[in-house]
Amino acid sequence: MDTSDVTSTVGDLEAQNMKLKKSPPFSLERFHISEDYGFLLPDPLKELSDYYMPWMEIAYNLPVMIESHQLRVRVDVMPLLSCHLLKGHKEQYLAHLLLSSITMGYVWQEGENNIPKVLPRNLALPLVEVSRTLGLPPILVHSDLVLANWKKKDPDGNLDTIVSLPGGESLKGFILVTLLVEKAAVPGIKALAQAINAVLQPSDDDLLQALKQLKTSIAEMTKALRQMHDYVDPAIFYAAIRIFLSGNQTVREIWNKEDSKRNSKFSWKDNPAIPEGLIYEGVSEEPLKYSGGSAAQSTVFHAFDELLGVCHSKESTTFLHRMREYMPPSHRAFIEEVHSAPSLREYILSSGSCLLCEAYNQCVATLAELRSYHISIVAKYILTGAAKAKDGGLGHLPGPPQALAERGTGGTTVFCFLRSVRDTTLGRIIDPSD
C-alpha cells in the first residue's frame, strides 16, 4: 500500500473522531422531539383521505351532535373502516384524535344518564388498531387533546383547535392555553439536553447557561398559564367540559392509597358514574379500563423532575409513573433517558460552585412557583365552578355531573396531590451551608 494512502486513512479517522467528540451524546432528535415545537406534534394534519370521511364528518361536528343528542345515532350507523390506508405517524395521530374524541362524546353524550356499557365495534376496532400502532391507550389523552390538536387559524399566527367537544370558546381556550404552556417549555427542553451534555462532557460554563435558560423557560410557562383566566370560564369548565376530559377525578381516585392497591390499571372506573368500565366491542368481552386526560400526562414536568432530581412521595410517584403509560412511547423513552443520565444535583454538589448551586436552586424554586400557580388555577376552576353550580349560577348550562360533585367540590385529594408535588419540589433546594 502506498504510504500516502495510509496517511489519508489516518487523517480520515482523526477527522471522524473529532466529529464524534463534537457531537453531543444526548440529543432530542433521537426521541422525535422537535427543536421548534418540543413535545408538540409539528404542523398536525387536519384531514385524512376521503376513505375516512365518515370519521371526519362526525369528529368535526361533535359539539352540535352531542348537544342535539344525535352522536350515538350517527356512530351506530358509521361504517367499519380499517386503518390500513393511514400513511405515516401524522395521519395515525389525527386518526387517534378523531376516534378518541368521538369515543368521549359517545360515552358522555347524555351526561351521567344512560351511559353505554359497550363501545360499538365500528368505533372500538379502529380506535384500538391505531392505538396499538402508536403505543397509546384507546382513549382521549393529553397528546391527543393538546399536542396534536392545533392548527394555524390565519397568517397572523392565531391558533385554533382541529377537534372540539362541548364547552365552546372556553374549551378552545383551555386547550390552546395548555398548548402555549407546552410551547413555552421548548427552550427548557433544549436546555435540559444542554445540561445533561454539560455533565457528560464537563463544562461548568455550558451548564450554568443551560440552567439559566431552563429557569427562564419555566417562568414563561407560568406566564402562559396565566392566560387561562382570560379564556376559560370556571362555570363552563366545571359543568360542561370536565366530564369529557375526566382528568381531575382521576387524580382523586388513583392517588388514594386504597384505590391504588385495588386497581392495577387506570380505568373508566375513576369516574364513579361508570364503575364497571367500558366494553370495546370486538376487542374484549370484558370491560377495558383506562383513564381520561390529565396534565400529569405532559412529558415536560416528568422530564424536568428527572433532570432536577425531584423525588415525590410514594403515592404521587405511583400515580405519575402510571400516567407515563398515556404518553407516546418516544416521550416515555426520553424520560427514562433523562432518569438514567448522571445526577445533575450530585454534579453540582460535588463541584462546589456557588454559581451552579444558585442557578440550580432558582430552577427548582421557579418550578415550585409554577406548581403553586397550578394549584390556584385548579382551585378556581373546581371550587369557583362548584360554588356557581350550588348557587344556581350556571345560567343555560346543565348542572355539573353529580358523581364528580359528590366526590367533594373541594377535590380534597387532588389538592393533597398537587401540594405534595409542589412541596417535594421545594424540598430539593440545596442549602448553601451543607
Give the separation between CA 62 and CA 104, rounded to whole angstroms: 10
Sign for the CA dihedral angle at 7, 13, 15, 21 comes to negative
Nearest-5° angle of CA 332, CA 335, CA 340? Answer: 125
Give the separation between CA 393 and CA 206, rounded to whole angstroms: 54
Q: Classify each residue of 338-376 as buried b or exposed e, where b means 16 or more C-beta atoms within 10 Å of its C-beta.
A: beebeebbebbeeeebeebbebbbbbbbbbbbbbbbbbe
What region does 82 belong to: left with phi over 0, alpha with psi -120 to 50, or beta? Answer: beta
CB 179 within 8 A of CB 221: no
Measuring CA to CA, which residue among 418, 405, 389, 398 is closest to residue 234? 389
Helices (DSSP H) in 39-84: which residue ranges? Answer: 53-59, 62-67, 71-76
Grid cell digits, residue 247: 382528568
Question: Does the annotation place 374 within a ligand binding site?
Answer: yes
Give the separation between CA 392 and CA 62, rounded to whole angstroms: 27
Q: Where are the beta strands (DSSP E) in 228-287?
A: 279-280
Give the separation between CA 269 and CA 258, rounded to whole angstroms: 14
Q: Compute the half-sphere exposure of residue 359: CA atoms within 13 Å on the CB side of its CA.
A: 23
Binding site, residues?
374
Binding site for heme b, residues?
374
